[in-house]
Structure 1
Amino acid sequence: MRAQDLGKDVIVIERARVGGAGVHAGALSSKTMWHLSNDFALAQRSDRGYCAKAGFEISYRRVIESVRAAVSEREGYFDKQLDRLAASRSGGGSVSLVRGTAKFISPHEVEVRRTDGSLELVSASHFVVATGSKPRIPDGLPVDGDLVVTSDHIESFPSFPESMVIVGAGVIGCEYATVFANFASTKIRIIDRQPRILPFEDEDVAEEVASNFESMGILIHRSSKLQEMRVVDGKVEYVISDPEGKTQTIRVERALVSVGRVPNTRTLGLENAGVQLDKNDSIVATHTQSSVSHIYAAGDVTMDIALANVAELEGRYAVEKMFGLDPRPIRYEALSAIMFLKPEVASVGLNELQAKERKIPYRVGVVDNRLVARNVAMRNTSGFVKLLAAKDSGKILGLRVVGPQASSTIQGIAFLIEMGATLDDIDRCVHPHPAIPEGVQECARMLLGRSVFKVEVFGPEGLLRCGEG
């Protein structure tokens, strides 16, 4: 669409579903499931002045029907736009969708095998490779799409399983753990090789999520190694070992394998175009440009930051760069992300782990959500707000918010990081009241020594924390 803005004629080659993992079996579908599960969990609460005494009838099939309705709506808009833009116009600006699989046969040509089996040769002056990624399947795991599945197969379940083990405690695994635990029909276990889930995040963030998981009935096998998994009598049997070597055999109804993703590059014939790949089959790219100057890469094919919003930014940047617009470089340090867990986790910029790795002196302020008026009004005060700033200058480095509506806080901070703003800029911003972002403002004010809440009063109670590193 950005190339169409510039009056260019574009061919989009897609072998399966328009929108990819950003819509199907990924960003949109899983988030729809998450929202539906949260609605269900909220309706089950009995501490809000009402109670559904008759209980709820729950159907996995109907949940998935709602998910697919959301996906269909989104895909329908894409299809409509592609249909309207297919016709060539004077001055260019057409977008043609070709259904099939493409393979480079030279630096400027791809051979396309259409879905009807016919072959077509397509040549172009520039290429963007945006074929995304797929779930990684370790050797030895009996993934069959039925009893042992990846995120691609979740929607195919005939009903809620009674029990399910999730292999991997990263974002995707924890997200689906949240969804199924919210629906309260499936006993969830998570196998985590690390001492804690979400190992890329600060310990306080990970432990807040883990504590909530355990209160929801999720069992986390911490520091455990999966030794074996097999299907026995229509069930999934797995063997894990702890750091001392003690083994345990457990049987569940289903297993979800969620141990990362791998780029979709192996069948593209990139070697015929001279495009360099790394040892993990990711395209080696500098500012989206591959080793071949007219071939660009966007999204998961580079496996730098596997997020849908990053893929879109990279795609836009690549098109503007190839046609000479000299776009501003993408500021990866100001990127924001949401983890759809319970509680929700929103992030932008650096966390403490990253600041320490980069040897950046920092100050950190933490405000418990029990001190945020909107959380109190929502009757949901789990979690906290955590703000990092440069030790000397007060320049904003990063933010982590754990709790309901956490995502409402991050875009403003992303903009401030992009602009090189300081704690004083947050303080002087007029924040709405009552609103979740007020917790961010109180973090900044605490680090500036002028918060409404005082560390000497609430610090010993664990509601406020100031530190540095």
Structure 2
Amino acid sequence: MKKYDVIVIGAGPAGYAAAMRAVDFKKKVALIEKKQLGGAGIHHGALWSKTWWELSREAYMLRKHGDAFNTDGIVFSYNKIQSEVRRAVQERVEQLEHHMHNINVSIEDGLFDYIQGNARVTGKHEVEVKGLNETLTIEGQYIILATGSTPRKLAEIPIDEEHIFTSDGLDKLEAFPKSMVIVGAGVIGCEFATIFSNFGHTKVHLIDKGDRILPFEDEDVVKVIERNLEAKNVLIHRNSRLTEMKIEGGMVVYTLEYTDGSKEVFRVEKALVSVGRVPNYQNLCDESLNLKVDGRGIIDDHTQTSIDNIYAVGDITADISLVNVGELEGRFAVERIFGKPERPLIYENISTIMFLSPEVAGVGMNEIQARAKDLEYKVVSIDYSCIPRAIAMRNTQGFIKILVTNDDEQKILGMRVVGEHASSAIQAVALLISMDKGIKELAELIHPHPSIIEGIQECGRMLLGKSMLKPAVLRNAMVCKTYAKGKYADLIEV
């Protein structure tokens, strides 16, 4: 039986990061993957879908500026776009394969092994791997579980990955459908509504059981996204409940019941079910181990499970399901096992991006979360129309919003950016949150000109009462107020 210092099960973002961090410690590592190197994060998740989003964004710009570019009536080739997306995925996979298969060249020979097969933890230190041609058992001092998640399915919906898809099966789509309904108005559902509506070939329906999409996000953020989706002919079914969905005559027929009791039937070509993901821990560990799990995933204490030498990272846990979080947890678990982490595992300063129209980036708390914690805070925002770079891009839709503590220190609680270049605007704030710093440091940073992030500096200066543009003059574009005891109070003198 071959022995390892650590066995990592799952070669997605979290597992791959864990394996490579273990190599740094000169430990003998086995990385096991049963399907595709890179996991869902590459093949059906972040890289795949964001490549679709980037291409769809360029397509929309061509449609939007058709008169200026002489591109009116342009038709986009689904097959060529799909091929480009697949090339992007393959580029990343080939890079990881090259790196992985040559890792032993620069370190002690035989330190790293990649094993393809279906792994099952049969003992506290034993893993059985069923490959195509053989079954082998290996031993590990430590085991890290990183098997990710899969799309949640609903028993009453006949998902066949031909007419009714999950995100994992959507790559089988062969052409732009003329119409599509998306079940679920969370991040993934809204991202695909954005992608398909950007190309302009698909009438998109979006089912939302509440009165607005993205219910976890602040209302001012959601209003921008809803307005843009509806401007692209997306039909948002608000306050609706899906009572039936079936495949009839090659079409998807679904019935909605509204909060007033009325019902309506719709027919579309395709459907996408996007109602969250479930962790892949079924049959992963022998029942005799009594690994503690719940409906959200494996229960862990800063990556360590109820079994002291077994760790869990990424989507398989009950923590935040993001690629960057999975990689962070994978690296942290190895550092905790073989060394001492330089800093604790915290989630408060994790940056997020929603690839919508426009994109939305955030770090720390939004107003909904701050209110849930009964916090008093100051909130400041500046419209993109006040930022020279946005004016130059001819796209002033969006805003920057920052929350700070309602005291003299004005420590940063969180930020949301809605608009072009949103993802590049949040990292400095994420760093300041992790350092427990206040708004003064932010206000004194010197940003390149012209850039979107100059708006961040102006927000900081606004809170300090020394902004270049005066909120009392531009009251529709600049906001500075406090929230306390359930009420807002304006900080701007008229």
**TM > 0.5:** yes
Give how far 1:48 is off: 7.9
Whole-Å Cα distance in 1 between the matches of residues 233 and 173 of structure 2?
A: 21
Structure 2 match to 1:64 = 82
1:46 aligns with 2:87: no
1:122 aligns with 2:141: no
Instruction: Give the direction of change, closer, same or farther, for the CA distance of 1:327–1:290 in structure 2 (3 Å limit).
Output: farther
Could you say what secondary structure the match of 2:340 adopts? coil
Contact 1:349 1:398 in 2 (8 A): yes
Contact 1:166 1:257 in 2 (8 A): yes
Instruction: Give the direction of change, closer, same or farther, for the CA distance of 1:255–1:199 in structure 2 (3 Å limit).
Output: same
Whole-Å Cα distance in 2 between the matches of residues 419 and 295 of structure 1?
A: 31
Whole-Å Cα distance in 1 between the matches of residues 139 and 371 of structure 2?
A: 48
Residue 26 of structure 1, aligned match among 45, 67, 82: 45
Structure 2 match to 1:276 = 292
1:94 aligns with 2:111: yes
Give how far 1:109 is off: 0.7
Whole-Å Cα distance in 2 between the matches of residues 426 and 48 of structure 1?
A: 41
* Identical-residue share of aligned pairs (%): 45
The one-letter code sitting in structure 2 at the alignment partner of 1:81 is: H
Instruction: Give the direction of change, closer, same or farther, for the CA distance of 1:104–1:71 in structure 2 (3 Å limit).
Output: same
Contact 2:299 2:318 in 1 (8 A): no
Residue 112 of structure 1, aligned match among 129, 135, 139: 129
Contact 1:108 1:273 in 2 (8 A): no
Instruction: Give the direction of change, closer, same or farther, for the CA distance of 1:366–1:109 in structure 2 (3 Å limit).
Output: same
Question: Could you list the per-position Cα deviations for residues 117-140 of structure 1 after superposition, in whole angstroms to 9, with x for gaps in the alignment?
Answer: x21101100111110000001120
Contact 1:5 1:93 in 2 (8 A): no
Contact 1:399 1:413 in 2 (8 A): yes
Structure 2 match to 1:356 = 371
Q: Which runs of no fewer than 5 residues in structure 2 stay unpaired?
A: 1-19, 484-494
1:14 aligns with 2:30: no
Residue 450 of structure 1, aligned match among 466, 469, 481: 466
Contact 2:285 2:291 in 1 (8 A): no
Contact 1:10 1:95 in 2 (8 A): yes
Q: TM-score, normalised by structure 2?
A: 0.91
Contact 2:130 2:136 in 1 (8 A): yes
Whole-Å Cα distance in 2 between the matches of residues 211 and 259 of structure 1?
A: 22
Residue 306 of structure 1, aligned match among 310, 321, 338: 321
Structure 2 match to 1:75 = 93
Whole-Å Cα distance in 2 between the matches of residues 176 and 263 of structure 1?
A: 22
Structure 2 match to 1:203 = 219
RMSD: 1.5
Instruction: Give the direction of change, closer, same or farther, for the CA distance of 1:267–1:281 in structure 2 (3 Å limit).
Output: farther
Whole-Å Cα distance in 1 between the matches of residues 381 and 296 of structure 2?
A: 40
Whole-Å Cα distance in 2 between the matches of residues 99 and 242 of structure 1?
A: 49
Contact 1:346 1:407 in 2 (8 A): yes
The one-letter code sitting in structure 2 at the alignment partner of 1:30 is: S
Instruction: Give the direction of change, closer, same or farther, for the CA distance of 1:355–1:248 in structure 2 (3 Å limit).
Output: same
Contact 1:10 1:93 in 2 (8 A): no
Structure 2 match to 1:236 = 252
Structure 2 match to 1:331 = 346
Whole-Å Cα distance in 2 between the matches of residues 137 and 371 of structure 1?
A: 45
Q: TM-score, normalised by structure 1?
A: 0.96
Give how far 1:93 is off: 7.0
Give how far 1:422 is off: 1.1
Contact 2:242 2:256 in 1 (8 A): yes
Give how far 1:270 is off: 5.0
The one-letter code sitting in structure 2 at the alignment partner of 1:346 is: A
Whole-Å Cα distance in 2 between the matches of residues 220 and 296 of structure 1?
A: 42
Could you say what secondary structure the match of 1:467 adopts? strand
The one-letter code sitting in structure 2 at the alignment partner of 1:457 is: V
The one-letter code sitting in structure 1 at the alignment partner of 2:77 is: S
Structure 2 match to 1:149 = 165
Structure 1 match to 2:359 = 344
Whole-Å Cα distance in 2 between the matches of residues 286 and 394 of structure 1?
A: 32
Whole-Å Cα distance in 2 between the matches of residues 362 and 151 of structure 1?
A: 38
The one-letter code sitting in structure 2 at the alignment partner of 1:379 is: R
Structure 1 match to 2:7 = none
Question: Could you list the per-position Cα deviations for residues 446-465 of structure 1 after superposition, in whole angstroms to 9, with x for gaps in the alignment?
Answer: 12211122222111xx2111
Structure 2 match to 1:168 = 184
Give how far 1:245 is off: 1.1
Whole-Å Cα distance in 2 between the matches of residues 72 and 358 of structure 1?
A: 44
Q: Which runs of no fewer than 5 residues in structure 1 stay unpaired?
A: none
Q: How many residues are matched?
A: 463
Whole-Å Cα distance in 2 between the matches of residues 293 and 327 of structure 1?
A: 21
